[in-house]
Structure 1
Amino acid sequence: MAPTHNVPTHDVIVLGAGAAGLFCAGLAGQRGKRVALLDHADAPGKKILISGGGRCNFTNLYTAPDRYLSENPHFARSALSRYTPADFIALVERYGIAWHEKTLGQLFCDGSAKQIVAMLVEECAAGGVNLRLGAQVGGVEHADGLFRVQFGSETLIAPALVIATGGPAIPKLGATGFAYDLARKFGLKVVQPRPALVPLTLSGEEALFRELSGVSAEVVAHCGKAAFREAALFTHRGLSGPAILQVSSYWRHGGCVEIDFLPDQPQDWLLAAKRERPRLALAKALGAALPERLAVRLAEHVGIEGELGQTQDKALRGAETQLRRWRFAPSGSEGFAKAEVTAGGISTAGLSSRTMGAQAVPGLYAVGEAVDVTGWLGGYNFQWAWASAYAAAVAITDFP
């Protein structure tokens, strides 16, 4: 029988069956709420499945608020402190999912990301969550303390609504800006969304580096005050690799990225090389620290030919400075199609950091990537999904 216009069909409606939505729905259901979880996709957790090369980098041991970008850098602190990596690891282990630390605190499944999706779906089943897939969310209305959501041909009604539909990153998986349209409808501001954790493109003279496509090296990449020591990869379009993906979240159009190609070499390394092996060419010297093709290209660009012993110390110091602070001016990024996440989103100014609830609209919550909180590469964004979802689920189930 179709519901009457003012009788709730559920206690909570969660929009979006990604990481944050699945986790929030399962928790709320297990805490006694009648939950409907809606998604236009034909299966849950699609972005989870492709994460971490198919093994899901599900958290990071070094999670801390300063590893997140937001217009309010303190906003994430409350949620992150109340649901930690150890909490999610305990859940993973309860399901017998084997995991390992790859590097820099990044935790991955030994097997497959499918295990994480299956775990979250099972958590929803344990909470009696009504998971509905494969239809579009139509109108969303709010009146008399109730949210009415049109899903396909049905109307679902609940006093609580959770926006967990993420951002527009990876549109081929169905990602859209739906969360922002809905937030604006309810009077919430939106921080301009932009691609984050994304390869950067080069043009003009810097496009000469395209011939190095496929070459990678461990570097320190800088953008403003942010600095990351990881691999950088040259591509046919520009720069990629973990170090570049990290700084891309901080980069803005018109800005520069600085790369230190000699992170392991002591100061005045080239002068020492000149004394020890004066007949060595710069390209050969660089080849001891960098891939040969990259060493040759950098040596050509700094313009030092001939042997080190025939080169003035001043020129070698200048070359070393350039190699330690090589400035690239990206022409852009590869956009949302190649971005791992979206920076920006629903402004934290209108949300409670404790509950993830909209301060001006009781019963409305926003979690995960939809919110203006963006983590570093390496499991930080999943931990934000779990922590923000937990904060909202607890608040909803404490809601009278």
Structure 2
Amino acid sequence: MANYDAIVLGAGAAGLMCAGVAGQRGRRVLVIDHAEKAGKKILISGGGRCNFTNLGTAPDRFLSANPHFARSALARYTAADFLALVERYGIAWHEKTLGQLFCDGSARQIVAMLLDECDKGQVEIALGQGIGAVDHADGRYRVSYGNREASAPALVIATGGPSIPKMGATGLAYDLARQFGLKVVEPRPALVPLTLGGEDPFRALAGVATEVVARSGKAAFREAMLFTHRGLSGPAVLQVSSYWRHGEPITVDLLPEREAGWLRAAKRATPRVGVAKLLSATMPQRLADALAQQLGVVGELANLPDAKLAAAEQRLAAWRFDPNGSEGFAKAEVTVGGVSTADLSSQTLEARRVPGLHVIGEAVDVTGWLGGYNFQWAWASGWAAGQAV
């Protein structure tokens, strides 16, 4: 049996970050992953260009049963810190909307950078190795993988959540957490398209997008919404999906620039114009026509009573959709829920009652908004654990 200072389960964003940091601190580190390639989820992210962080990173952009838990790690390893690493490797990048940073080239550059950081720390990486039994006795963790065994006083669970199972994602992190007596906050799909059942009047609009403000409870996001064959998607809907619960509606302001009374004002100014024509100034014509039909405001404004126009304004400002579900873990970018933060140190990500056991990245009950926040949590939590093992 080979002996190490730390064994990291998972060669994704958090696991590689942790291993590189620990290795460069002089620790002997082994990373084990059942995938044949390291960083598989990194490679497909951001359309293959990896939205690797967000300049607007702040604790209030993360969901958790303990909204303050992420604060420590995020403060000690910031978006600027990761960007400095990217620039040290000469990786060209650009900023898109809302502080999102992407590679100019390919997400492969980020994986290569992380692997190089691991090489600098002489980290051993075992890929294509199924993880078998994991045991803890006499202050050491023993892990069976492939036909081998390894032992270390520190074990880092960085196997992510169950989102995107076709990439090999599993619930292993939760199984291990429960094995060691840690609580798990019920995992559910996040950053995921929502589905509309029954007679969805907008199904014919699949592929049409428009800028909206989408709301679920107190959460509100102004971005694009996309109609799909199954329901709703696009950044605004993906964002609110993390907050949405089964049985709840979401509401959408389809005209975020318009103030109350705008239709009635338009009636006085341009009585011969139709509602669909007015709507098409700020949204695709197909959507404008469908909304006018749904609202029963077809024809010239002059022929429509003010009360009907007022009702149309109100509905357009808070259009109610009742999702019957989501597209599930298969299409979810990340997972809400996970290993309970109540059982972990916010400083080191170490289990409070199980010395040497750390849980990082998506496996933890910390979930960021869309736009690079989840990668920044992976870097920050990985760095924090890498400093501690």
* TM-score bin, normalised by smaller chain: over 0.9
Residue 228 of structure 1 pairs with residue 259 of structure 2: no
1:44 matches 2:35:
no
Query: Can you list the C-alpha shifts for 1:243-298, whole angstroms capped at 9, x where unaligned?
Result: 00000000010011100011112321111111111011111121112110001111
Instruction: Report the secondary structure of 1:327's partner residue.
Output: strand
Q: Distance in 1 between matches of 2:275 and 2:359?
A: 55
Match for residue 169 of structure 2? 175
Partner of 1:77: 71
What is the aligned partner in structure 1 of residue 17 from structure 2?
23
* Equivalent residue letter for 2:117: E
2:382 to 369, 386, 389: 389
Q: Which runs of 5+ in 2 are unaligned?
A: none
One-letter amino acid matched to 1:199: P
Which of 275, 291, 296 is matched with 1:282 structurally?
275
Partner of 1:314: 307
2:113 pairs, out of 109, 116, 119, with 119
For the residue of structure 2 that corresponds to 1:275, the secondary structure is: helix
Identical counterparts, % of pairs: 70
Correspondence for 1:129 among 118, 123, 127: 123
- The match for 1:299 among 292, 299, 303 is 292
Q: What is the rounded CA distance, in whole Å, between the counterparts of 1:127 and 1:267 in structure 2? A: 61
Question: 1:151 maps to which residue?
Answer: 145
More moved, 258-267 vs 108-117 = 258-267
Q: CA RMSD in A?
A: 0.8
List structure 1 segments (4+ residues) > 2 angstroms apart after TM superposition. none
Instruction: Specify the SS of the correspondent of 2:151.
Output: strand
Question: What SS does the corresponding residue of 2:31 show, helix, strand or coil?
Answer: strand
Alignment partner of 1:97 out of 79, 91, 94:
91
The alignment status of 1:243 with 2:245, answered yes or no, reads no
User: Matches of 2:12 and 2:51 in 1, distance apart?
Assistant: 15
SS in 2 for 1:128: coil
Report the equivalent of 1:364.
Answer: 357
Aligned pair partner of 1:343 in 307, 332, 336: 336
With normalisation by structure 2, the TM-score equals 0.99
Q: Tell me the secondary structure at the aligned position of residue 203 of structure 1.
A: coil
2:96 is aligned with what amino acid?
A: K
Match of 1:197, as an amino acid? L
Gaps of 5+ in 1: none
2:155, 2:281 → 1: CA distance?
58
SS at match of 2:202: helix
SS of structure 1 residue aligned to 2:97: coil
Alignment map for 1:56-67 (pairs within 5 Å): 56-67=50-61
Counterpart amino acid of 1:70? S
Shift of 1:342: 0.8
1:210 and 2:217 are equivalent in the alignment: no
Q: How far has the Cα of 1:306 moved from its partner?
A: 2.5
Question: What residue is the counterpart of 2:27 in the other structure?
Answer: 33
CA deviation map 1:300-343 (0-9, x unaligned): 11112322112221211110000000000001100111000011
Task: For residue 204 of structure 1, give the secondary structure of its aligned residue in structure 2.
Answer: coil
Residue 139 of structure 1 corresponds to 133
TM-score calculated relative to the size of structure 1: 0.96
Task: Kindly indicate whether residue 334 of structure 2 is the aligned counterpart of residue 375 of structure 1.
Answer: no
SS at match of 2:210: strand
